[in-house]
């Protein structure tokens, strides 16, 4: 890894020196270095006065609660955001929804490079544990947003900028401990700018937790290494970062009402019955995956008006999950029946592994022109993905004719994407500005082989999408600003959708109308949105056999909502940051099968789309270096399916957290020590933030009739729990 980094840096420096005249001016202005860093995400971000609905968080905002929980939990108090966790406490597999859209429909980029998996379109933060510690800033755009790289944003887009170049050398040691035997340890460093031009920085992290749910343990390791070259108008970064995760699965949830009431941490994953009829749990029902990212980022500023940005990326992912299965049919694994003692054996207990081995390549180039009137950015993006899916049996009670390392299924998926875009903001005068954004996406997705269900999956689909966006901003006075925007987006199906026979892409028209108010003590952002979908792929509520949510095509649907967020300085040392989102989310003329017949249910609620989501952060600083934060979150009731069944309803919940941060400085040999504590769910609420819903036809209980049976499962979240930690900064 060191050789790769040194080689990359040397090549980058040679290209830079060859491309421009040697510049000897020293970098002494930190603001200039940070500005160069920010250009790396300029193409996918928007400015404060843009007609795009958005929220920003910086490193200081994230540090207060960065004690081991994943990035979705860092975003929990932003408008329209709902978070949940399989293990119940925010460590391991965590998920986020924005405006009712799940993570597979939220575009995520790291330094402008897509992070969503090309096939599943999901984002798995468990593969990048403690990445929050290496984030300089992030922006969450709700709705279609501005053009970005990767799959279209159908609920939101999230872009993250990794650590900026530091002028000064530093070192940090962070440790945190908490409930469920959770602990995080990391080490960060930076050399600062050596010879005024070079920086080497890095981080090593480990996070472990037993989880709130039984056996839902996580053993997570990650790293981040950055080499940078900075000149007066040049920034080159070579980044290597990644993670390793071993997570005991907890994707089954709980279907038993009695267990849910009296033993809500019960985990059925890994359950089997031994020869004596006793229930046992397989100790290695694990998810084991590694992901490594290699990025080369080059920002070149030619003068005060022109700049360019070039990015190269390679991501390698490989891993498996392991399962103990009882009484599996030989036929499923290609085994031949065997004779033992005159009996024919055609089933067996076994342990299987299902693998994913993928490679993702990406290249991105942008050019920007900016003066007092025009801010123009144009660019192109290309990516190629290939992923192998295969499975094998590593142990069987009756192995039949199988051989070691046999694969009982094997398939491949390939996806290529080419995107071009141009966008500009034109300032007519001090009051009016116009925004335009044109994007073309051209995709090819092909598959071969068979799935884990032993079904042939042969796909070769091409898509061409044109995504125009436009908006205007009107500044009434220094305190009041109004904006309107329209955006169109298309989104291709995921691999799971293809396995369900869905090949039609989604389409979205998004209208946003907003008002921003800012005074010395108060800031208020208000917006109304109307998102009209055609062929929206909504979550059906069902899961596949590995716990992944399935989707269904809802035809026509819409989301209509009002979002308000504010920052109010109540006193000199007391401020509140409330937000609320009210929405109406409907499938239009939704058709389903009930009791053996197709039924039009007319307008139904879209799954996992609560009509009320509200939050607040009340922050009080009795002295300069001490801060108390009282954090509140309310999520209204929601349906886990699209047929408005009472059996699919999740109750509303209201939870509160307490965050305390104290900074101690002026210590010998130490710059400062930041102590932080987070008490989650301080009122010990027993709540459920996620689940699943399913139906099936029963034609056995009443011969000659078909009855639709409904069922549901739930993922209980942790009751009161805590995390405490300290960061020692040198």
The average pLDDT across 310-338 equals 95
| Confidence (pLDDT) at 5 | 37
Other CB atoms within 10 A of residue 258 CB: 9
- Structural tokens at position 125: 């933060």
| Confidence (pLDDT) at 698 | 76
299, 235 Cβ separation under 8 angstroms: yes
Closest CA to 143 of 40, 49, 55: 55
Examine the pLDDT at 2 and tell me if it is beyond 70.
no
Closest CA to 347 of 332, 325, 334, 329: 329
Number of residues written out for the chain:
730
Examine the pLDDT at 4 and tell me if it is beyond 60.
no
Give the C-alpha separation, 57 to 20, whole Å: 35
Tell me if residue 31 falls in helix, strand or coil: helix
| Confidence (pLDDT) at 22 | 38
Per-residue pLDDT tens over the stretch 379-390: 999 999 999 999
Give the C-alpha separation, 668 to 689, whole Å: 46
Determine the number of helices (DSSP H) and then strands (DSSP E) in the chain: 6, 42
Examine the pLDDT at 164 and tell me if it is beyond 80.
yes
Examine the pLDDT at 412 and tell me if it is beyond 90.
yes
Higher-confidence position of 654 and 3: 654
Give the C-alpha separation, 191 to 172, whole Å: 12
Beta-ladder partners of 189: 171, 202
- The model's confidence at residue 321, banded by pLDDT at 50, 70 and 90, is very high
pTM given for the model: 0.92
The average pLDDT across 115-130 equals 95
- The model's confidence at residue 566, banded by pLDDT at 50, 70 and 90, is very high
| Confidence (pLDDT) at 31 | 52
Higher-confidence position of 666 and 673: 673
Mean pLDDT of the chain: 92
Backbone angles phi, psi at 54, to 5 degrees: -155, 165
Examine the pLDDT at 8 and tell me if it is beyond 60.
no
Other CB atoms within 10 A of residue 581 CB: 27
644, 661 Cβ separation under 8 angstroms: no
Per-residue pLDDT tens over the stretch 210-256: 999 999 999 999 999 999 999 989 999 999 999 999 999 999 999 99
- Structural tokens at position 152: 């279209």
Give the C-alpha separation, 375 to 352, whole Å: 55
Residues in Cβ contact with 313 at an 8 Å cutoff, skipping those fewer than 6 apart: 113, 293, 294, 295, 296, 360, 361, 362, 363, 364
| Confidence (pLDDT) at 23 | 39
| Confidence (pLDDT) at 1 | 40
Range of the domain at 139: 2-729
- The model's confidence at residue 701, banded by pLDDT at 50, 70 and 90, is low
Closest CA to 230 of 162, 298, 161: 298
Closest CA to 60 of 710, 664, 661, 696: 661
- CA angle at residue 218 from 212 to 222, to 5 degrees? 140
Q: In the chain, how many domains are there?
A: 1
Beta-ladder partners of 551: 539
Closest CA to 608 of 579, 637, 646, 645: 637
Beta-ladder partners of 257: none
- Structural tokens at position 45: 């971000």
Higher-confidence position of 148 and 411: 411
Provide the CATH number for the domain around residue 497.
2.40.170.20
- The model's confidence at residue 20, banded by pLDDT at 50, 70 and 90, is very low
Examine the pLDDT at 10 and tell me if it is beyond 60.
no
| Confidence (pLDDT) at 536 | 92
Per-residue pLDDT tens over the stretch 46-101: 999 999 999 999 999 999 999 999 999 999 999 999 999 999 999 999 999 999 99
- The model's confidence at residue 322, banded by pLDDT at 50, 70 and 90, is very high
434: number of CA atoms within 13 Å, CB side?
A: 4
The average pLDDT across 583-589 equals 96
The average pLDDT across 327-347 equals 92
Which is it for strands 604-605 and 574-588: parallel, antiparallel or unpaired?
antiparallel
| Confidence (pLDDT) at 26 | 41
* DSSP for residue 64: T
79, 155 Cβ separation under 8 angstroms: no
Give the C-alpha separation, 507 to 534, whole Å: 5
């Amino acid at each position: 890894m060191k050789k790769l980094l040194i080689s990359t840096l040397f090549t980058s420096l040679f290209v830079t020196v060859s491309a421009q005249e040697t510049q000897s001016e020293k970098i002494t202005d930190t603001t200039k270095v940070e500005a160069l860093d920010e250009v790396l995400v300029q193409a996918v971000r928007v400015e404060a006065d843009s007609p795009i609905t958005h929220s920003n968080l910086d490193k200081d905002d994230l540090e207060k609660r960065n004690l081991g929980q994943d990035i979705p939990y860092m975003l929990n108090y932003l408008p329209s955001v709902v978070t949940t966790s399989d293990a119940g406490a925010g460590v391991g597999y965590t998920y986020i929804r924005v405006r009712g859209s799940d993570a597979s429909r939220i575009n995520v980029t790291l330094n402008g490079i897509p992070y969503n998996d090309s096939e599943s379109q999901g984002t798995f933060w468990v593969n990048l544990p403690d990445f929050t510690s290496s984030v300089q800033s992030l922006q969450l755009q709700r709705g279609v947003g501005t053009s970005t790289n990767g799959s279209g944003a159908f609920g939101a887009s999230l872009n993250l900028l990794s650590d900026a170049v530091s002028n000064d050398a530093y070192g940090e040691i962070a440790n945190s401990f908490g409930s469920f035997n959770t602990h995080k340890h990391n080490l960060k460093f930076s050399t600062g700018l050596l010879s005024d031009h070079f920086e080497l920085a890095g981080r090593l992290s480990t996070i472990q937790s037993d989880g709130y749910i039984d056996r839902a343990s996580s053993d997570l390791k990650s790293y981040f290494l950055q080499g940078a070259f900075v000149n007066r108008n040049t920034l080159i970064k070579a980044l290597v970062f990644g993670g390793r995760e071993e997570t005991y699965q907890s994707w089954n949830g709980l279907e038993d009402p009695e267990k849910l009431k009296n033993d809500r941490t019960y985990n059925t994953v890994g359950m089997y019955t031994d020869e004596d009829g006793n229930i046992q749990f397989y100790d290695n029902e694990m998810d084991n995956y590694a992901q490594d990212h290699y990025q080369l980022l080059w920002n070149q500023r030619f003068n005060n008006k022109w700049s360019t940005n070039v990015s190269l990326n390679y991501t390698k992912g490989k891993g498996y999950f392991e399962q103990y299965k009882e009484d599996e049919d030989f036929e499923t694994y290609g085994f031949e029946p065997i004779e033992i003692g005159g009996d024919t054996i055609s089933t067996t207990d076994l342990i299987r592994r299902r693998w994913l081995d993928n490679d993702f390549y990406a290249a991105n180039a942008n050019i920007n022109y900016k003066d007092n009137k025009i801010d123009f950015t144009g660019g192109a993006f290309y990516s190629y993905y290939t992923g192998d899916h295969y499975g094998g049996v590593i142990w069987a009670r009756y192995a039949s004719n199988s051989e070691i390392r046999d694969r009982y299924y094997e398939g491949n998926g390939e996806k290529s994407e080419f995107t071009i875009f141009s966008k500009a903001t034109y300032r007519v005068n001090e009051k009016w500005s116009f925004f335009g954004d044109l994007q073309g996406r051209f995709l090819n997705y092909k598959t071969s082989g068979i799935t884990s269900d032993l079904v042939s999956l042969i796909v070769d689909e091409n898509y061409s999408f044109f995504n125009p966006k436009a908006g205007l901003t009107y500044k009434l006075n220094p305190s009041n600003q109004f904006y309107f925007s329209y955006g169109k987006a298309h989104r291709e199906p995921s691999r799971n959708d293809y396995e369900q026979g869905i090949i039609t892409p989604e389409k979205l028209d998004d209208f946003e109308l907003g008002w921003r108010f800012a005074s010395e003590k108060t800031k208020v952002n208000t917006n109304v949105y109307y998102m009209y979908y055609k062929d929206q792929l909504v979550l059906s509520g069902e899961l596949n056999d590995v716990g992944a949510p399935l989707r269904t095509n809802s035809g026509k649907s819409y989301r209509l909502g009002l979002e308000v967020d504010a920052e109010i300085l109540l006193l000199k040392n007391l401020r509140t940051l409330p937000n609320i989102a009210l929405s109406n989310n409907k499938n239009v003329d939704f058709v389903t099968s009930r009791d053996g017949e197709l039924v039009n249910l007319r307008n139904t609620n879209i799954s996992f789309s609560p009509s009320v989501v509200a939050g607040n952060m009340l922050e009080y600083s009795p002295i300069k270096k001490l801060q108390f934060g009282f954090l509140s979150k309310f999520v209204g009731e929601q349906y886990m399916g699209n047929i408005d069944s009472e059996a699919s309803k999740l109750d509303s919940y209201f939870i509160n957290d307490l965050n305390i941060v104290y900074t101690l400085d002026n210590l010998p040999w130490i710059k400062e020590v930041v102590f932080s504590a987070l008490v989650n769910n301080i009122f010990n609420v027993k709540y459920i933030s996620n689940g699943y819903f399913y139906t099936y036809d029963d034609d056995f209980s009443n011969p000659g009739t078909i009855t639709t049976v409904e069922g549901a499962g739930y993922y209980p979240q942790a009751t009161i729990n805590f995390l405490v930690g300290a960061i020692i900064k040198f």
